[in-house]
Amino acid sequence: MAKERKPNTARKPPVPSDSHAEVEDWMRRLMPDLHPIVKRLDELICETIPGLQYSVKWKQAYYGLPELGWIIEMVAYAVSVNVVFLGGAEFDTPPPLGTTDRSRYVKLTTLEEAQGPEMHRWIEQAGRVPGWK
Over residues 76-100, the mean pLDDT reads: 92
Distance, in Å, from the CA atom of 32 to the CA atom of 63, rounded to the nearest integer, reads 22
Over residues 69-89, the mean pLDDT reads: 96
Q: Reply yes or no on whether the pLDDT at 100 is more than 90.
A: no
The predicted pLDDT at position 10 comes to 62
Asked whether the whole model's pTM tops 0.85, one would answer yes
Q: Reply yes or no on whether the pLDDT at 8 is more than 60.
A: no
Residues whose CB is less than 8 angstroms from the CB of residue 85 and which lie 6 or more positions away in sequence, other chains included:
71, 72, 91, 94, 95, 103, 104, 105, 122, 125, 126, 129
Distance, in Å, from the CA atom of 87 to the CA atom of 90, rounded to the nearest integer, reads 6
Q: Reply yes or no on whether the pLDDT at 11 is more than 90.
A: no
The predicted pLDDT at position 21 comes to 96
Q: Taking all residues of the chain, what is their mean pLDDT, rounded to a whole number?
A: 91
